[in-house]
């Protein structure tokens, strides 16, 4: 009986060893096949497969580039909106002292008896305001007595005048302004006929 058990044990042991060796052989074969399959695409790819690979590579590059460009557009759009929101900030900050001067002038006007000093104060504030705008590139147009130029002025009406004033600006109803040599507001003028 013990011989029978020993024989059965040996048979089971042999079967296990045989299975392990088969698995080792299978894994070695699988490893070799995997190594061969890694090498095979480089060596034995047909023209069609090569072209498909190139197309998929180019498609991937295109998708990445498109996504990058889309992100760039979104980023620049938000930057542009931020710039528009804060574009006038520096001008407004530079005009705050003028606003303060106007507030002081109003306070002085309430208690002052001397109109001449109030007038001088308002003229100083006006002068300060003009200087700030000139520093920012704003220049008023001089049109009074000049030949009418439709690129710079808008004729509201014409009035009969002497021969020497025909075609010239007789009166300026609303002053025109240039910002860095570009018209931002046309002068509204009366032209002599």
Per-residue pLDDT tens over the stretch 99-155: 898 888 888 888 878 888 888 888 999 999 999 989 988 999 988 888 898 888 999
Mapped onto helix, strand or coil, the DSSP state of residue 7 is helix
Q: Judge whether residue 17 has pLDDT over 80.
A: no
What radius of gyration do the chain's Cα atoms show?
A: 45
Q: What is the mean pLDDT of the chain?
A: 81
* pLDDT on residue 40: 44
The number of CA neighbours under 13 Å toward the Cβ of 39 is: 5
* pLDDT on residue 41: 46
Buried-exposed string 128-167: b where 16+ CB fall within 10 A, e elsewhere? ebeeebeeeebeebebeeeebeeebbeeeeeeeeeeeeee
CATH of 139-193, one of 2.30.22.10, 3.30.70.360, 3.40.50.300, 3.30.1330.10: 2.30.22.10
> Looking at per-residue confidence, does 12 or 141 come out higher?
141
For residue 130, give the nearest of 94, 183, 172, 77 by alpha carbon: 94
Residue 181 Cα to chain centre, angstroms: 25
Residue 43 confidence class, pLDDT cut points 50, 70, 90: very low
User: Could you tell me which residues come within 8 angstroms of residue 101 by beta carbon, excluding any fewer than 6 positions away?
Assistant: 121, 124, 125, 128
**Which stretch of 23-27, 43-47, 144-148, 187-191 has the lowest confidence by average pLDDT?**
23-27
- Rounded distance, CA 150 to CA 124, Å? 34
């Amino acid at each position: 009986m013990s011989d029978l058990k020993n024989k059965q044990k040996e048979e089971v042991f042999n079967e296990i060893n045989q299975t392990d060796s088969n698995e080792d052989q299978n894994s070695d074969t699988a490893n070799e096949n995997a190594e061969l399959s890694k090498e095979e695409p480089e060596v034995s790819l047909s023209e069609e497969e090569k072209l498909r690979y190139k197309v998929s590579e180019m498609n991937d590059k295109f998708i990445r580039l498109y996504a990058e460009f889309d992100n760039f557009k979104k980023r620049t759009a938000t930057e542009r909106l931020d710039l528009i929101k804060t574009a006038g900030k520096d001008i407004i900050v530079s005009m705050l002292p003028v606003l303060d001067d106007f507030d002081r002038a109003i306070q002085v006007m309430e208690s002052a008896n001397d109109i001449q000093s109030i007038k001088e104060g308002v003229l100083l504030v006006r002068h300060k305001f003009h200087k700030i705008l000139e520093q920012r590139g704003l220049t008023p147009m001089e049109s009074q007595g000049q030949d009418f130029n439709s690129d710079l002025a808008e004729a509201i009406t014409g009035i009969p005048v002497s021969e020497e004033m025909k075609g010239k600006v007789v009166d300026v109803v609303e002053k025109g302004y240039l910002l860095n040599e570009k018209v931002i507001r046309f002068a509204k003028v009366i032209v002599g006929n």
